[in-house]
Copies of this chain bind each other. A is one copy, B any other.
Amino acid sequence: MRIELSERLKAAGYKLTAPRRAIIKVLESHPEHLSHSQILEAGKHFYPRLSRATVYRTMELLTGLNLVRPLYLSDATQRFVLVEGGHHHLVCTRCGTIIELDECAEGELVNRLAERYGFTIHSHLLELQGQCADCRCETEK
């Protein structure tokens, strides 16, 4: 589901402005987990007058439209990922390393739960926390 975010925004009746375009460019070109500040900095690259308030407002908008979702990793900063059906990662609680997973093994589970509770599932997040090989060795030394 690689539908352009800009199309979605327009479809929902929102205007496609330069600041929003800049933020969308950032999101589409950075698969990482971006914080508000990172989005602001990167967005200024495309649209120098971009303000922090606009980043907050736009991210809230995108979250409401279910195009983006917030998450926490090992630190206390709110970050966002694109909602593309699902998102899966391993997080090392010691060094903060993040390994992204492509596979989605919960398709069946999702369907079963959706049916049981009458939910329409838009996205899901599977986050595994633990220690990576390097950190484990450090700890055991």
Q: Which residues of A contact B (CB under 8 A)?
A: 64, 66, 69-72, 76, 78, 83, 90, 92-93, 99, 101, 105-106, 109-110, 113-114, 117-133, 136
A76→B72 contact, CB < 8 A: no
- Identify the closest chain B residue to A133 (Cβ): B118
Return chain B residues, CB-CB under 8 Å to A101: 113
- Identify the closest chain B residue to A131 (Cβ): B120
A122→B130 contact, CB < 8 A: yes
Name A128's contact: one of B78, B90, B105, B110 (CB within 8 Å): B110
Return chain B residues, CB-CB under 8 Å to A93: 64, 66, 122
Return chain B residues, CB-CB under 8 Å to A123: 128-130
B76→A70 contact, CB < 8 A: yes
